[in-house]
Structure 1
């Protein structure tokens, strides 16, 4: 597989992102807004009728994208969208600020970016594309003024886990990319951090 490019999800690429996620919106109608919406809003969006399920999530991601705020990056194999990583300034992800297990130790720390999700179609998984998307996210955050890139991986102890459980990436993957992983002071959940620019 050859990835020609990893590109920002800009307004002109909305149709590509929509095609990539398909009718179910990636992970069960999530549309990669789980961390962008308050819990009550997100729960309501996926617990309505099957015909309506995920509709408001799709609209929320579309609104962010068409407003030009770049919610993440799209990988392309030729002209075909084939992968996604959600990376943006940490303040864009309202659920992080409210999360007991991931709440920032210093919410006022400047220029921190967060990487909250990867999504690959099943036939694209386990081929190294996640690492390529991670490299793209690092460069995008750095070029956009990020000073720290933070992520919230799962520790699989070097083994494998179902894709739906490791959508935030694995500790091993981030460590290989140079991140330092440490337990969250409140929950013990792994938090990965990489310095992008020296102070």
Structure 2
């Protein structure tokens, strides 16, 4: 039996807002499933390992995300459907992401002021309903308003196969192509053993 077709969400049904001041909802999307459990907090592609540790060498991911949500530049955007948090996109200017800036595999093709999408997550009840498009569009709008030259991302190409949801947080190439992005080059990075592409949308 095939998957049940889900009704796509319209722009009017979706509210996408900056994560500033919304730490609890960010935690619901990228925090641990159980209190005290492990979680990436959408920081593994944003900051270097040394930046995620305190003076004694202890991990402080939750604290770092809490600080980012209280800062002037949001670490990403949250999508709500009927008042319920439904999705998350981690994105910010490339210059604020030390991991992306220094990565030898997440290469860049342009030396300009671009924003980068590093994570996309949608809660199960809202998947396959077009929510990723509205999340990405919110980043594009914010980047354009901030005067950025482009928005980039490093999604995987499933090459006709399927990608486990837990490994699809970097996004799929098709999601970005549907949002007007174009492939620039195939990088040396992988996720779920699949190649990651640099994709870009000019602003």
TM-score by length of 1: 0.80
What does residue range 100-115 of structure 1 map to in structure 2 within 5 Å? Answer: 100-106=104-110, 109-115=111-117
Q: What SS does structure 2 have at the residue aligned with 1:100?
A: coil
Checking the alignment, whether the CA contact within 8 Å between 2:89 and 2:120 is kept in structure 1 is yes
1:155 aligns to 2:165 (yes or no): no
1:4 aligns to 2:11 (yes or no): no
What does residue range 1-199 of structure 1 map to in structure 2 within 5 Å? Answer: 3-11=13-21, 13-24=22-33, 28-40=38-50, 56-106=60-110, 109-184=111-186, 189-196=196-203
Checking the alignment, whether the CA contact within 8 Å between 2:109 and 2:184 is kept in structure 1 is no
Checking the alignment, whether the CA contact within 8 Å between 2:31 and 2:40 is kept in structure 1 is no
Larger % of strand: which? Answer: 2
Aligned length: 184
Which whole-Å deviations, capped at 9, do the CAs of 1:171-199 have from their partners, x for residues lacking one?
11111222111324666741001101xxx
Q: What is the distance in 1 between the residues matched to 2:30 and 2:168?
A: 17
CA-atom RMSD, angstroms? 2.8
Q: What SS does structure 2 have at the residue aligned with 1:166?
A: helix
Which whole-Å deviations, capped at 9, do the CAs of 1:117-139 have from their partners, x for residues lacking one?
00122332222211221122211
How far did 1:103 drift? Answer: 3.2
Residues 155 and 62 of structure 1: CA distance in aligned 2, closer, same or farther (over 3 Å): same
How far did 1:23 drift? Answer: 3.6
Runs of at least 5 residues in structure 2 that lack an aligned partner in the other structure: 1-6, 190-194
How far did 1:141 drift? Answer: 1.4
Q: What SS does structure 1 have at the residue aligned with 2:170?
A: coil
Runs of at least 5 residues in structure 1 that lack an aligned partner in the other structure: none
Higher alpha-carbon deviation: 119-128 or 164-173: 119-128
